[in-house]
Amino acid sequence: MPKNRKRMLIVDGFNVLRSGSRYQNISGPNPDYDHDWYNRAREMLINDVVNFSGSGREWRATVVFDGGGNVESTGEPESVGGVRIVFSPAGFAADFVIEKLAHEGRENGFEVLVVTSDATIQDTVFGLGVDRMSAEGFSIELDRYYHDVALDEAPKVAQKRTVADRIDSNTRAKRIALRDGKGAGVTPPANPRTLPH
């Protein structure tokens, strides 16, 4: 990635947890959405965004969760592995924070990608000139990302390469014929060079 390229990733946390197949598998095909499930799923999502964003080096990443119903939520971000985690402040939905971050990102010259399957947010940010990706699309991208990482980390077996592997078949056949003294019309030199002792 060019150093001067500024990219911002904004993830609609709870929407991705509910809509992305990657997170449905945490507690089976029909999660009951209990507190433990959300904690496990939220931790997995945050780790995924940290990895996908290059710990904030390739993308300026923010995961936004809805904290509007929590009277103690201040909306103050915290950082985990180079990624900002934000619970929307009391009285405000995550949608508000996502739209605000997307608008600020575009105003500051960032290429902005918002990950959500919420149609209202998608329509709003599209009007800002922001790219969108569905929760399921993000799940698929993460699967590809982890597959590529696994391939990069797999041990490589060195392939044995011989001279015969590197020359064309006609030349190889002529060399074999010379070696075996069966060269058609080709005779080995009468006085082959010998190495000094």
94-141: pLDDT as tens digits: 999 999 999 999 999 999 999 999 888 877 777 778 899 999 999 999
In a domain, 120, yes or no: yes
In a domain, 162, yes or no: no
In a domain, 1, yes or no: no
Cα three-residue angle 156-159-164, rounded to 5 degrees: 165
Q: pLDDT tens digits for 4-21? A: 679 999 999 999 998 999
Residue 99 belongs to domain with CATH number: 3.40.50
Instruction: Tell me the pLDDT of the chain averaged across its residues.
Output: 82
In a domain, 192, yes or no: no
**pTM for the structure as a whole:** 0.71
Q: pLDDT tens digits for 49-97? A: 999 998 768 899 999 999 888 888 888 999 999 999 999 999 999 999 9
The parent domain of residue 133 ranges over: 7-153
Phi, then psi, of 163 in degrees rounded to 5:
-60, -40
Contact 8, 114 (CB under 8 A): no
Q: Exposed/middle/buried for 182, CB within 10 Å: 0-12, 13-18, 19+?
A: exposed
In a domain, 86, yes or no: yes
Q: What is the pLDDT of residue 169?
A: 80
Our count of domains for the chain comes to: 1
Q: What is the pLDDT of residue 24?
A: 80
In a domain, 193, yes or no: no
